[in-house]
Amino acid sequence: MPDLGTPLEQVLQDKLLNVGDYQRPYAWEEKQLSDLWADIDLLGSLPHYTGTLVLQDMGSTQTTRSGQVLTLFDVVDGQQRLTTCVILLDRLRRALRDQRDPDAQEAAHDLDRLVYVNVDGVRRPRLELGGDLREFFADSIIGDDAPEGAPLQLGARRLLAASRYFDNQIADLTADVAPEAGLTRLLALRARVSHQLRFLVYSVDRSDEVGVLFETVNGRGKPLTELERVKNYLLYLSRQLNDVQRDDVAANINRSWSTIFSNLGRVGLRDDALLRAHWLVTQDANTRNWHGADSVKAKFPRSAYVPGSSRLIGATEDAASPVPDDRLYLALDAYINSLRKSAGILADVHDPAATYPSYASAGSEIAQTTAALRRSGSVASFHPLLLATRLAHAANAGLYLRVVHFCERFSARVWAIRGLRSNAGESSIRWAARDMFTGTAPDEVLAGLEQRLWHLAPDEDVVSSFGALVQWYPRSTAHKFVLYEYELSKQRDASDLPQFGDITAKGNKTTEHILPQTPASDSAWWKSFTPEQHAKLVHGIGNLVLTRDNSRYGNRDYLDSADGRRGKRGREGQAEPWCYYSESNLARERELAIQFSEWTPATIERRASDIAAWALTRWPARRPAATEADIDDDRLIEDEEVDTEQDFE
């Protein structure tokens, strides 16, 4: 049997324990009480790590009438759990005391000596609470006096509720069974609480050592992540398996978590993003029902897999080994393997070096389209759909390519071009992912998504989003993405174009305002633009072009001036000063010089219209037929709520 700390009985035996007045009042409520009771009920014969206690030796002792020397300790940490355990011991003591059986009386006497001590002829609690709760705990919780006087403070009400909670649980344990069976269950409860609940006990001599201990134990390192909590819970669950299955599950967990951390680490993806996407796909697409590791615990409730003979009510049943049940082993194995595969799938989505070897000839196009999706700046929303497609249709390269194309078109039209809120359409995508995973025909799933795409971003709204007056420049990610894809469509060799990451990393320097943001007061620009036109048009998509470095253009006029000052457009073959005609420019910069002999409000409107027409062919959408079914309104509700999260380290 593993050593998980000191049994509760040994924690109490040779001590007087005091909770200082500076400690917060008793705070446990039914949630914490029921969790502790469930732990005890499902223990079987195994020990259970219950928590940590930090005790400060106060340097004094007292001797009981029987000659036992008791050391006085202040409970510095863990007082809530310790107080609860003492209340449970006391309620069990009372239940055993009411039994006429000699074994029950002996057990009640033993528990009485854990709860109470007799010092100098005075019977007193072994544990004393601080502040206003000291007398109430001694008199009305482990004592027999009924509460009286003024309305009880919150801590006192919670102590009283805890004692009543355990009274009810103990009564249920012995209800509707013969007295002998009830006693057997009570004695089993006594053994579990006294001997199987284990505490990790730290003892310090001085108050300054308490600070050192807390800093070392609690203040160093990082809290457990959700993924680590899931791992620990799965390992804990595996204790219910036989030796062979337990070892196999533990080995699989360790291998899988190594792979998961490796995949997440290569792209900087947060582990809770993996857990969330996997849950939405495999369990429930409603984000309201996702609560991190707690949701995984609810999927694998211990009570569903613990044999009846291991529970308190099983203390009166045949304790022989239960009939072999592989449900837990198979469920854990399936979950672990699915989560490991999912980490690899999501890592591929974010990894520029992913090659998709299992998809053969389609791998290259999948990689290129996925790269465009990454450039759009909206990837996390599609995690569930991409994940569901590869989990449910692992060998179907054509389907996965269709899905990636859809995701990129959706991101471009809905978020980059129309500028809708980042959660617009998310619930539809999640539910579609769930449908894909659970067996709905892929064509049906994609048809529904296409309908939703058109609803959010029909062609007419896409075109209007490119209107000359729409302010694109403040939306840096969106305008750089659209202009980068526009640039790619013109480049003969994509290798001539800087990486998108380099473009975005340089911020404003890689976006050129053809009509400058701040023309000089004597500039020729004011002959073509009124101040009002300048304010409306300067940040429109028609006036923006990507460049390697816009500082080379400054605020110059578009054309050369009569007095010899060189303009931005320049001339074919011109090297100095830098101009749109310059040979090493990006393709769309040179296109400006070639196509436009002047730059006016009408020119900006024409170019914006050209980009809009190109965008409709680059990111097409299909108008739904009149006979197509409406979208399920219940699946659109969450689209009205903001539901964003940070997915990267």
- pLDDT tens, residue by residue, 152-205: 888 999 999 999 999 999 999 999 889 999 999 999 999 999 999 999 998 888
Q: Are residues 299 and 247 in the same domain?
A: yes
Q: Are residues 450 and 503 in the same domain?
A: no
Contact between residue 452 and residue 385 where contact means Cβ atoms under 8 Å apart: no
What are the tens digits of pLDDT across the range 470-521? 999 999 999 999 999 999 999 866 677 899 999 999 999 999 999 999 999 9
Contact between residue 154 and residue 174 where contact means Cβ atoms under 8 Å apart: no
Instruction: Judge whether 233 lies within some domain.
Output: yes
List all residues 6 or more positions away from 48 whose beta carbon is below 8 Å from its beta carbon.
Answer: 4, 39, 40, 196, 197, 198
Listed in sequence order, the DSSP H helices in 411-470 are: 426-438, 442-456, 459-465
Q: Are residues 181 and 54 in the same domain?
A: yes
For residue 242, pLDDT beyond 70? yes
Q: Are residues 589 and 493 in the same domain?
A: yes
What was the pLDDT predicted at 399? Answer: 98
What was the pLDDT predicted at 241? Answer: 87
Contact between residue 54 and residue 215 where contact means Cβ atoms under 8 Å apart: no
What was the pLDDT predicted at 561? Answer: 85
What was the pLDDT predicted at 319? Answer: 42
Last residue of a domain, one of 458, 487, 515: 458
List all residues 6 or more positions away from 308 whose beta carbon is below 8 Å from its beta carbon.
Answer: 314, 317, 322
Split into its structural domains, the chain has a count of 4
List all residues 6 or more positions away from 542 whose beta carbon is below 8 Å from its beta carbon.
Answer: 466, 468, 603, 604, 605, 606, 607, 608, 609, 611
For residue 290, what are the domain limits?
Answer: 226-346
What was the pLDDT predicted at 318? Answer: 46
Q: Are residues 146 and 263 in the same domain?
A: no
- Grade residue 103 by pLDDT with cuts at 50, 70 and 90: very high
C-alpha span between 340 and 40 (Å, rounded): 32
Instruction: Judge whether 648 lies within some domain.
Output: no
Q: Are residues 143 and 191 in the same domain?
A: yes
Average pLDDT score over residue span 80-106? 94
For residue 644, pLDDT beyond 60? no
Instruction: Judge whether 166 lies within some domain.
Output: yes
The strand pairing partners of 16, in sequence order, are 72
With both helix axes pointing from N to C terminus, report the angle between 327-350 and 226-237 in degrees, rounded to the nearest 10.
Answer: 160
SS3 category, 3: coil
Q: Are residues 120 and 189 in the same domain?
A: yes
C-alpha span between 452 and 624 (Å, rounded): 9
Average pLDDT score over residue span 568-582? 86
For residue 362, pLDDT beyond 80? yes
What was the pLDDT predicted at 573? Answer: 82
More confident residue, 128 or 629: 128
Q: Are residues 177 and 34 in the same domain?
A: yes
- Grade residue 628 by pLDDT with cuts at 50, 70 and 90: low
What are the tens digits of pLDDT across the range 530-570? 999 999 999 999 999 999 999 999 999 999 887 778 899 98
Instruction: Judge whether 390 lies within some domain.
Output: yes
Last residue of a domain, one of 217, 235, 252: 217
What was the pLDDT predicted at 640? Answer: 46
Contact between residue 598 and residue 559 where contact means Cβ atoms under 8 Å apart: yes
- Grade residue 324 by pLDDT with cuts at 50, 70 and 90: very low
List all residues 6 or more positions away from 209 whose beta carbon is below 8 Å from its beta carbon.
Answer: 56
Average pLDDT score over residue span 306-320? 62
Listed in sequence order, the DSSP H helices in 268-382 are: 271-282, 293-299, 327-350, 363-375
More confident residue, 151 or 598: 598
Q: Are residues 424 and 374 in the same domain?
A: yes
Q: Are residues 68 and 201 in the same domain?
A: yes
Query: What Å distances lie between residue 77 and 160, 219, 596, CA to CA?
Result: 22, 14, 76
More confident residue, 380 or 206: 380
Portion of the chain with pLDDT greater than 70, in percent: 90
- Grade residue 68 by pLDDT with cuts at 50, 70 and 90: confident
Q: In the chain, how many H helices and how many E strands?
A: 25, 10
What was the pLDDT predicted at 385? Answer: 98
With both helix axes pointing from N to C terminus, report the angle between 271-282 and 243-267 in degrees, rounded to the nearest 10.
Answer: 120
Instruction: Judge whether 624 lies within some domain.
Output: no
For residue 648, pLDDT beyond 50? no
Which pair of structure tokens corresponds to residue 565? 């000052």
Average pLDDT score over residue span 579-597? 89
Instruction: Judge whether 639 lies within some domain.
Output: no
More confident residue, 177 or 439: 439
- Grade residue 151 by pLDDT with cuts at 50, 70 and 90: confident
Q: Which of 525, 546, 548, 522 is nearest to 535 (CA)?
A: 525
Mean pLDDT of the chain: 89
Q: Which of 233, 245, 253, 249 is nearest to 325 (CA)?
A: 245
Q: Are residues 74 and 148 in the same domain?
A: yes
Instruction: Judge whether 1 lies within some domain.
Output: no
What are the tens digits of pLDDT across the range 202-240? 888 876 666 666 666 555 555 778 999 999 899 888 888
More confident residue, 629 or 418: 418
Instruction: Judge whether 501 lies within some domain.
Output: yes
What was the pLDDT predicted at 645? Answer: 39
Last residue of a domain, one of 430, 458, 486: 458
Q: Are residues 404 and 339 in the same domain?
A: no
Radius of gyration (Cα) for the chain, nearest Å? 35
Contact between residue 408 and residue 619 where contact means Cβ atoms under 8 Å apart: yes
Listed in sequence order, the DSSP H helices in 120-218 are: 133-136, 154-174, 179-191, 207-217
- Grade residue 250 by pLDDT with cuts at 50, 70 and 90: very high
